Amino acid sequence: MSLARPATDRSQPPPPAALRPFDFPPFHHQRLANGLRVLAMSMPRVPLVDLQILVPAGGQFDAPELPGLANLHGGLLDEGTARRSSLELAGLVEGLGGSLGSGAGWNMAYIEAGLLSDHLDRGLELLAEVVRSPGFAPSELDRTRQRIQAEILRRKGLPASLAERFFAAAVYGDTVYGRPLIGTAESLDQIDRDHLKGFYDRHVVPDGSTLIAVGDLDVDQLMARVEHHLGDWHAAPRPSEPVIEPAKLARTEVHIVDRPGSAQTQLLLGHLGVPRSHPDYPQTTLLNAIFGGKFTSRINLNLREEHGFTYGAQSSFARRRGPGPFSVRAAVATEVTGAATEQLLLEMRRIQQEPVSVEELRETQDYLVGVFPYTLQTISDIAKRLEAIAIFDLPSDYYEHYPAVLGDISREEVLAAAQRHFDPDHLAIIAVGSAEDLRPQLESFGPVLVHQP
Amino acid sequence: MTIQSSTRDAASNSSAPRLQDAPARSFELRRETLSNGLQVVMHRDPSLPLVAINLWYHVGSKNESPGRTGFAHLFEHLLFQGSQNVGTNDHFRYIQQAGGVANGSTWYDRTNYFEVLPSHQLDLGLWLESDRMGFFLPAITQEKMDNQREVVINERRQKMDNQPYGRAFERLHELLYTEGHPYRWPVIGYVEDLTAATLADVSDFFGTFYVPSNAVLTLAGDIDTDHALSRIEHFFGDIPGGAAIPQLEVPPARLTQEQREVQGDDVQLPRIYMGFNAPAYGADGWYAADLLAAALAEGKSSVLYEDLVYRRQLAQDVGCYVFPTELTATFAVISTARPGVDPNVLEAALTEHFARVASEPLPEVHFERSLNQRLTDYYSQLQTLDRRADLLSMFTTYFDDPAGMVHEVERYRSLSPEDLRAFAAAHLGTDQRAIVTVVPRADVAQVVACGATGQRDAEQEASVQPAKVPSASQGSDAAEAQS
């Protein structure tokens, strides 16, 4: 260091240099003759590939009498095929340093494989085998059923899981989103092999399904191998979309899940949201970021940094094909549960009454737009974006325009979105903790129901 | 410096690749040291318009004193509360409005602070990090300290005290490490110690440990290294260097007699936490331990999963890992019993497996699979600039060798199945372990009475009681505290 070094001026944040622009990388999209869609991106930075097939076999298709069928079906897909046992399949993929998995969410079921790119063809072959000829062997059914039963039991001890379960029941009542995706102890006992095979026949079809491939791959070679392994997958009609139309609550309800001796309260409140396809999606994204979707959100600064009530408060609009919930979550100290709830309601009302400030809007837009390349570093980051395109039927150029769309939203539009999509007078408020401590703090918000886990 | 290993063998497409065939990654690395002692590592990769800034301070919970546990992590929170030129909540605000992300974390041996920014915002990140390295104390107040103390106590409740099994991991370390060993207490600390911490502790800690000579600054991403170095010099060069860090005196960590405890908790299924001591991170024995952990419990075809979860259905899940820690390492296996399975039966099955891996080398197929899994992990973690920067800081801090990150694959491939067996024989004996068995409260007495070994002395009997609070997570989640 030279002696003549001038003192560094630290009084102001230094200005940025020139921005290096970024665009969502191009990708390949194609539909096979049998209806299977393929989305693929070459990303050769590391010698890995990520492969997955999404099929229209999500929990949204569960019948009222058999919740958990889609989840059990999804979990069983990779547990053996007509030719190979579960352990043989796992041994093949894991022996190559890869992984194989399957499961179901509300929207779709998936089968996925992560492999060193040298084994791309092997991965496609196994995915095709799994999707086209799963075994549903009775022994695997029993094993997987018992594993899920134990998971249901485990979740009864988890405050966050308990809150989710009672929240869904309160907001969605007797519609499909009101029943647990994982099923219930009773429904799982009733599911037999015929249910699974029937569900498979109706839902695991090429039309409505998408193969996603990202990583160190050559698109032409990939397409040739996809044609080879999946081109003759027989066509069948895609399942029709279920109608999910829950009624909103008549008034705010308080549900306490009694867990005596709890060290803190797991708080979850919210109401119906909108389907992912709603035209207000970008506005609600921005609204949520300001309200509770980032570290410097209003509720985190209020509950954590101002009051010290919690380690963190967040909100989200769950993105589903049907109307997923808007919800707010925080684990708060028991004695401040009422005060924290009050602050959350105040913040919901405030953002409905006055437009967000110019600075707040600007810095949130700059954050959401600026952070975009950071969210696209890995092959699974990219796969997630392609997944969204597949699941929500987004146009293939969606992510080219996404930053500009977010950047153009005005304060008035955020206010209008808050007025349309926040409803602090018709909330389900769930608190998991000691009912004795919580009831007096929460009864002013609405009628209180106490539940056992 | 540029590090390059052998080139990729594209021909081998028919059989599983071995680590011997590991394709090369070419890494541009440059290393410098400022006159105040700050070590700088730069890694250029312009694939995306991003820069990761990663700062390691070589101080963690091991540098705390008993009575002040959890202080390193509380201190990390305080470092996000502003400095002379940065307002109270402005650190995250500046980063987010620039389109970046930031956080910090505390671990036994170190504390790290990191941000990833669009690369044209490099100066902003350097300004923020240098302001708190050089000019933190003028901004700290009692009010900020009290607020963050509450946040941390709530963090502890959320991650541990209010979670099923949440105190098991903490208890395992208390049994595994002797009084006075700094890995005995949890990174997040005990509530009474957090409550006792004072502002005087803050300035002492800062003055001792938060000095340039005790830090490594890594930049990774879209940078020109000459320019970046001049900006680092601009922002960090005038911060005074510090005195050498006090040496720790650490008692030996090896157990010679089994330690065990049954914990009652609000849980439905019993779970076993079994811990052993392994060689410190960086030793050959550590790599043997890590590869053995992968062979035992990573994936459905792993030894323990296949036998205990799949075939015999004694367990709902099983996990195995070894911590990458500096003084010594904890090798742990965690397994939840299936409904209706006596945890003593599950424990006996685990014991049997450990005896087998200590007496016979692993079958080749398990050994090969684990090597291949570590190769995939290696590539996988290279994908993000944040992870790369963190690894470079780590290898520089612990081993004075950023390139060690690239060569780590070779450490695994130098091993043989016999090395794994030798590790198990030397470290995984029943008299070298600690066991915490978490059971539903109502079952405590019964599980204790039928204990697998029946070897308990009076002191251990006395400690068999329901945990004070229902409780949390497992493995590294429980140990690493995030801001």
Instruction: Tell me the per-residue pLDDT of B187-197, one tens digit each, with 9 for 90 and over.
Output: 999 999 999 99
Which of A2, A5, A20 to mutate to probe the B interface, most B CBs <10 Å?
A: A20
Q: Is B410 exposed, middle or buried (0-12, 13-18, 19+ CB in 10 A)?
A: middle
Residues B222 and B49 sit within 8 Å (Cβ to Cβ): yes
pLDDT in tens, B37-95: 999 999 999 999 999 999 999 999 999 999 999 999 999 999 999 999 999 989 999 99
A436 touches chain B (CB under 8 A): no
Q: Cβ contacts (< 8 Å) between A87 and chain B: which residues?
A: 300-301, 306, 310
CA A162 – CA A118 distance, rounded (Å): 44
A156 touches chain B (CB under 8 A): yes
Mean pLDDT of B212-216: 97
Q: How many angstroms away from the CA of A296 is the closest CA of chain B?
A: 6
A155 touches chain B (CB under 8 A): no
Q: Which amino acid is at B268?
A: Q
> Angle of helix B142-156 relative to helix B199-209, nearest 10 degrees?
90
Mean pLDDT of A315-336: 96
What is each CA distance from B107 to A157, B182, B185, B199, B323, in whole angstroms? 28, 12, 12, 22, 11
CA A302 – CA B297 distance, rounded (Å): 43
Mean pLDDT of A281-304: 96
Lowest-pLDDT choice from A39-43, A318-322, B21-25, B354-358: B21-25
Above 90 in pLDDT, residue B18? no
Q: Which residue of B has its CA nearest to A333?
A: B154
Asked if the Cβ–Cβ distance from A331 to B157 is below 8 Å, we say yes
Mean pLDDT of B313-333: 97
pLDDT in tens, A96-130: 999 999 999 999 999 999 999 999 999 999 999 99
Instruction: Determine phi and psi for A114, rounding to 5 degrees.
Output: -115, 125
CA of residue B112 relative to chain centroid, distance: 12
- For B:252-311, CB contacts with A below 8 A are 266-269, 298-302, 306, 310
Above 50 in pLDDT, residue B24? no
- For B:324-363, CB contacts with A below 8 A are 336, 338-339
CA A424 – CA A346 distance, rounded (Å): 9
Q: Is B227 exposed, middle or buried (0-12, 13-18, 19+ CB in 10 A)?
A: exposed
Q: Cβ contacts (< 8 Å) between A262 and chain B: which residues?
A: 162, 470
Mean pLDDT of A19-24: 92
Q: Can you tell me the ipTM of this complex?
A: 0.91
CA B250 – CA B62 distance, rounded (Å): 10
Mean pLDDT of B323-328: 96
pLDDT in tens, A157-190: 899 999 999 999 999 999 999 999 999 999 999 9
Mean pLDDT of A404-413: 96
Helix (H) or strand (E) holding B320: strand B315-322
Q: How many angstroms away from the CA of A320 is the closest CA of chain B?
A: 26
A311 touches chain B (CB under 8 A): yes
A86 touches chain B (CB under 8 A): yes
pLDDT in tens, B457-470: 333 333 323 222 22
Q: Cβ contacts (< 8 Å) between A372 and chain B: which residues?
A: 99
A50-71: burial string, b at 16+ Cβ within 10 Å, e else: bbbbbbbbbbbbbeeebbbbbb
Smallest Cβ–Cβ distance between A153 and the set B35, B339, B368 belongs to B339
Q: How many angstroms away from the CA of A241 is the closest CA of chain B?
A: 35
Which two tokens mark B164? 């099923």
Mean pLDDT of A27-53: 96
Above 50 in pLDDT, residue B7? no
A4 touches chain B (CB under 8 A): no
pLDDT (0 to 100) of residue B482 = 52
Above 90 in pLDDT, residue B26? no
Q: Cβ contacts (< 8 Å) between B163 and chain A: which residues?
A: 158-159
Smallest Cβ–Cβ distance between B310 and the set A87, A301, A379 belongs to A87
Above 60 in pLDDT, residue A315? yes
pLDDT (0 to 100) of residue B483 = 54
Asked if the Cβ–Cβ distance from A19 to B120 is below 8 Å, we say yes
Which of A19, A43, A46, A155 to mutate to probe the B interface, most B CBs <10 Å?
A: A46
pLDDT (0 to 100) of residue B444 = 87
Mean pLDDT of A202-213: 97
Asked if the Cβ–Cβ distance from A20 to B120 is below 8 Å, we say yes
Q: How many angstroms away from the CA of A269 is the closest CA of chain B?
A: 18
pLDDT (0 to 100) of residue B25 = 54
Q: Is B319 exposed, middle or buried (0-12, 13-18, 19+ CB in 10 A)?
A: middle
- For B:218-247, CB contacts with A below 8 A are 222, 233-235, 237-238
Smallest Cβ–Cβ distance between B470 and the set A1, A263, A366 belongs to A263
Above 70 in pLDDT, residue B354? yes
Above 80 in pLDDT, residue B253? yes
Q: Cβ contacts (< 8 Å) between B158 and chain A: which residues?
A: 264, 310-311, 331
A150 touches chain B (CB under 8 A): yes
Q: What band does A236 get if pLDDT is binned at 50, 70 and 90? A: confident
Q: Is B352 exposed, middle or buried (0-12, 13-18, 19+ CB in 10 A)?
A: exposed
Asked if the Cβ–Cβ distance from B49 to A16 is below 8 Å, we say no
Q: How many angstroms away from the CA of B431 is the closest CA of chain A?
A: 32
Q: Locate all alpha helices (DSSP H) within A354-422, ordered by sequence.
A: 358-370, 379-391, 398-407, 411-421
CA B36 – CA B213 distance, rounded (Å): 6
Q: Cβ contacts (< 8 Å) between A114 and chain B: which residues?
A: 376, 380
Smallest Cβ–Cβ distance between B376 and the set A98, A306, A379 belongs to A98
What is each CA distance from B159 to A209, B167, B365, B381, B423, in whole angstroms? 38, 10, 38, 25, 33
Mean pLDDT of A198-225: 97
pLDDT in tens, A61-90: 999 999 999 999 999 999 999 999 999 999
Q: Cβ contacts (< 8 Å) between B151 and chain A: which residues?
A: 304-305, 308, 310-311
Above 50 in pLDDT, residue B270? yes
Q: Which amino acid is at B15?
A: S
Above 90 in pLDDT, residue B28? no
- For A:37-56, CB contacts with B below 8 A are 45-48
Asked if the Cβ–Cβ distance from B16 to A95 is below 8 Å, we say yes
Q: How many angstroms away from the CA of A239 is the closest CA of chain B?
A: 32
Q: Which residue of B has its CA nearest to A364?
A: B97
Asked if the Cβ–Cβ distance from A94 to B135 is below 8 Å, we say no
Asked if the Cβ–Cβ distance from A295 to B92 is below 8 Å, we say yes
Above 60 in pLDDT, residue B6? no
Average pLDDT, chain B: 88
Asked if the Cβ–Cβ distance from B299 to A90 is below 8 Å, we say yes
Asked if the Cβ–Cβ distance from A263 to B365 is below 8 Å, we say no
A377 touches chain B (CB under 8 A): yes
Residues A91 and B301 sit within 8 Å (Cβ to Cβ): yes
Which two tokens mark A138? 């009775």
Above 70 in pLDDT, residue A148? yes
Q: What band does B27 get if pLDDT is binned at 50, 70 and 90? A: confident
Asked if the Cβ–Cβ distance from B118 to A19 is below 8 Å, we say yes
Above 80 in pLDDT, residue B438? yes
Q: Which residue has the tokens 């930053």?
A: A403
Mean pLDDT of B221-226: 97
pLDDT (0 to 100) of residue B463 = 30
Asked if the Cβ–Cβ distance from B300 to A87 is below 8 Å, we say yes
DSSP B437-473: EEEEGGGHHHHHHT-SS----HHHHHH-S--SS----
Q: Report the percent of chain B where pLDDT is more than 90.
A: 79
- Tally A–B CB contacts below 8 A: 249
pLDDT (0 to 100) of residue A381 = 96
pLDDT (0 to 100) of residue B480 = 55
* Other CB atoms within 10 Å distance of the CB of residue A244: 18
Smallest Cβ–Cβ distance between A147 and the set B48, B97, B316 belongs to B316
- For B:62-101, CB contacts with A below 8 A are 84-85, 88-89, 92-94, 96-101
pLDDT (0 to 100) of residue B298 = 96
B396 touches chain A (CB under 8 A): no
Above 60 in pLDDT, residue B19? no
Above 80 in pLDDT, residue B481? no
Above 60 in pLDDT, residue A263? yes
| Residue among A39, A22, A40 at smallest CA distance from A404 | A22
pLDDT in tens, A354-385: 999 999 999 999 999 999 999 999 999 999 99
B382 touches chain A (CB under 8 A): yes
CA A353 – CA B116 distance, rounded (Å): 35
Smallest Cβ–Cβ distance between A150 and the set B13, B235, B339 belongs to B339
pLDDT (0 to 100) of residue B135 = 96
Q: What angle do CA B390, B396, B399 make, to 5 degrees?
A: 125
